[in-house]
Structure 1
């Protein structure tokens, strides 16, 4: 399996690798090492191997050149700006010590520094002027780089158009050559492993997997390629569409999608869109991002030594305090600001945001949200919490009164049920969700929560009050026979294993597919999973 990240934060990739290994395949999950050194560990019966991932091609050629038109006095992008700024800081630090020495000398506490007070004053003035000059040139450099980074100038737009017109789907080689960095890091490792099946996750790794498949088949080896499309690439947020990034990645995906023997994806809506956009012969198979609720031995996994905790206890709240939970990343497209803006009206409600990534205390988006809460005078009712291991999320959230999914209207938000939707459901929490198409339709049909108009604070307040007024009514929806059972990873893993067996009939041997959550088999069929 191939993935373009370090694996630890990608619950879908982890679940796929573990389930494939439990079904009898010899699974090696390749990811990107954040340290530049090879790292390995076990994920159940699967092996995780992070490979060194240098990215020299990710840097555009213009980043090596000075942009005279945008910053005629800017430093060149060679590192000299950082050197000069640090040198000025060092000079001023030295002058500060010398000034302190003069003060001590006046009180009879030490010798007078060489050069005299007049020279010191002149140096201080010179250092102040130099600081302004260096800061100005540094600002010109960073301002020009920010402007250039968007690649939206007339020359940039012509360059993007020209190569798209001349090379079509092959144009990504000119527009986004950094995609080759993945090939050069992963390709030799895949060839050495000689897999029977390659499982490429998402849009970056489909190219790596397809090229490895071509090389293996040319050498006379039978190998199958599974592409796992996590999202609809043209439907990414408008911020991502700036410049040539999106056009390059869409072209890359279009070039290599036809190489996949089977396409997997996360929802029926996305399956239809992928079939149409890539002209696929078959509708992609849906494997939803449902949570893994099976009791397993987690001793080899990251975060395995962390006990399951209680969100209400972590917030220091008693059972009588209304608590709304949100789990996931925070960004403008997630719509979480509506939860903060409603708190001045929902005067007794607290909000818990399980949103801090591993190894961090905060992010820029979180800081902006907390500043908003402070300005509204509700910061004492906003509780920021770190992520918990993916298999603990539902149990961790279960003591909240309700859960919120406030997504704004974007194509990828409209067509799929998110991870958090299934995690909230397994926690049996009443939900307050925005009116993005698929999630809103599901909640209305099951009765497990209330739907509000996305980014509408007053309608959100209405929905919250309705849920908090009668939570038992919404929790009762989870008693429907088979509902929660179908929203588990165990159910989705059976679909995944069936796809593998269809591609490689008769292998692995002596499988036990009818044991939910315990797909224990024997055999050594090798599967290379690639995620991106």
Structure 2
């Protein structure tokens, strides 16, 4: 739309996306960034640098800025508890400034009444340096640090929003590092990815908005936090962590101008749990497929011949993903010489344990680990596999999701072997594209794999039929929904 006065196109509205990682390997974040840039938005993706230097690069049409996150708050808290006087004293001034900035932000965003009181207290201490130094000394060392930790813990336990301010000072470090960068970008809309960013997105939108320029913000819930892990009753640490994560989301989600998530099941639960005025927009983790053929084939890169069954798993290797079950299943599948390809992040910390497990089971020569490929190359890359495996274990969050790899397997026309987590098991049975096994049960997985290997053509035939299961699950259609949401918010 041209300007009625100048006759020129107005500048593109600026969308700033926030994420707590280094972007590489996060397929959802990457796809959203470059597809929104392709749709005409000016996009800057702000993430976290691995080192101490600011990093900048281009992600197709989007700019990426990775910000170093010094441990200003969390590092000081640890040094104070250890009683490292020299370190704590050196960091005291920096810590004092950080706490003042956070207290001021709490007060300006009207997070709660006691936040205003905290800002006033911080202001008084700034004006009375001797009192501030005394507070610093009294809260340091084995006694003072422990007392400070006990007080902080008590406040966290009493906090109706999970005590994230007390229990996770790294959130404060993240906000302090990113806030000036985002302010300098002058966003029109902030897209906050995942729970790390829900509070930061809300607070930045509130503090950067003016009567003449309202900064809108979107919360993108990548998973159902209340279902990511159900710890045992006696596991106090995990229970506190879960309470904290759910609490920070609860505190801010209703302030978002819009909420986006990855599946209908999660959207329904978020709407019910937080009494949202509207059901979150569902933007599926569908694949984007490059039109430029690279010729790379998974089977070639792992060195497995065409007649050899090649099972595939791609993604995170954490224990809850159930990859160990697939490795154990290779033992009873030795007679058919089944191999397993794992597409993993190069720095995935759980790969080593899986390699050792394969050695212990005597199947290491049939397990192949290869690195990630660009997200738009995944589908053609994996087409040469025999079966795509989704072995995830039973967690509430897993029951609700149709994860990225599931859509990638679909679009690669692979037969799919999934554990009996609700959503993916039901989808697999309904589409007729594969088999379901008992989660965590290697014998069940091996038995289901045998059935599939005996009838591969029947599963593949579904993709060529009139009810092609790939349907409307390409990324372009998901991106169009998000583009429409942005336009609605920024009319």
When the two structures are superposed, what TM-score results if normalisation uses the length of structure 1? 0.72
For 1:423-442, what aligned pairs fall within 5 Å after superposition?
A: 423-442=408-427
The C-alpha deviation readout for 1:172-210, integer Å capped at 9, x for no partner, is 222222211121111122222221111111111111111
**Which residue is equivalent to 1:495?**
481
Structure 2 CA distance for partners of 1:160 and 1:411, relative to 1, 3 Å: farther
Is 1:4 the counterpart of 2:20 in the alignment? yes
Any stretches of 5+ residues in structure 1 without a counterpart? 68-75, 80-147, 298-306, 506-532
Alignment counterpart, residue 209 of structure 2, candidates 212, 217, 228: 217
Map 1:493-532 to 2 at 5 A.
493-505=479-491
Q: Which residue of 2 aligns with 1:58?
A: 74
1:89-124 CA distances to partner (integer Å, 9 max, x unpaired)? xxxxxxxxxxxxxxxxxxxxxxxxxxxxxxxxxxxx
| Aligned partners of 1:350 and 1:382 also within 8 Å | no
Whole-Å separation in 2 of the counterparts to 1:456 and 1:43: 41
- Within 5 A, what are the aligned runs for 1:70-149? none
Alignment CA distance shift 1:55-1:28 (3 Å): same
Closer, same or farther in 2 for the Cα pair 1:383/1:223, shift >3 Å? same
SS of the residue corresponding to residue 168 of structure 1 reads coil
Taking a change above 3 Å as real, the CA distance of residues 193 and 451 of structure 1, as seen in their structure-2 partners, is same
The alpha-carbon deviation at position 349 of structure 1 amounts to 3.1
Change in CA separation of 1:45 and 1:338 when aligned onto 2, cut-off 3 Å: same
Q: Does 2:218 match 1:226? A: yes
| 1:312 corresponds to which of 291, 295, 299 | 299
Is 1:344 aligned to residue 331 of structure 2? yes
Displacement of 1:355 in angstroms is 3.5
Matched, 1:276 2:272: yes
Q: Distance in 2 between matches of 1:428 and 1:434?
A: 19
Q: CA deviation at 1:161?
A: 5.4
Cα distance in 1 for residues equivalent to 2:242 and 2:489: 32
Inter-CA distance 161–459: structure 2 relative to 1 (3 Å threshold): farther
Inter-partner Cα distance in structure 2 for 1:419 and 1:468: 24
Per-residue deviation, 1:222:
1.8
Corresponding residue number in structure 2 for 1:376: 361
Q: Post-superposition shift, 1:485?
A: 4.2
- Structure 1 residue 63 displacement after superposition: 5.8
Q: Cα offset for 1:55?
A: 2.5
Give 1:35 deviation, angstroms: 2.3
Quick check: 14-23 or 174-183, which moved more? 174-183
**Once the 2 structures are TM-superposed, how far is the Cα of residue 331 of structure 1 from its aligned partner?**
1.9
Unaligned runs of 5+ in 2: 1-16, 88-141
Equivalent residue number for residue 458 of structure 1: 443
Aligned equivalents of 1:468 and 1:233: distance in 2? Answer: 37
Distance 1:344 1:278, change over 3 A: same
The separation in 2 between residues aligned to 1:192 and 1:471, in whole angstroms, is: 55
What TM-score results when the alignment is normalised by the length of structure 2? 0.78
What is the CA–CA distance in structure 2 between the aligned matches of 1:410 and 1:60, rounded to whole Å? 36
For residues 440 and 286 of structure 1, the distance between their equivalents in structure 2, rounded to whole angstroms, comes to 20
The answer to whether residue 377 in structure 2 is matched with residue 405 in structure 1 is: no
The number of equivalent residue pairs is: 412
Contact conserved, 2:56 with 2:66, CA < 8 A, in 1? yes
Answer whether contact 2:194 2:221 (CA < 8 A) is retained. yes
What is the rounded CA distance, in whole Å, between the counterparts of 1:392 and 1:296 in structure 2?
Answer: 9
Q: Do the aligned partners of 1:157 and 1:243 also contact (CA within 8 Å) in 2?
A: no
Which structure is higher in RCO with an 8 Å CA cutoff and minimum separation 6? 1
Partner of residue 44 from structure 1, selected from 60, 64, 67 = 60
Give the conservation status (yes or no) of the 8 Å contact 2:302–2:341: no
Give the whole-Å Cα distance in 2 for the aligned partners of 1:62 and 1:437: 42
Contact residue 74 and residue 169 of structure 2 kept, 8 A: yes
The structure having more radius of gyration, on CA atoms, is 1
2:469 aligns with: 483
Cα drift, residue 467 of structure 1: 0.8
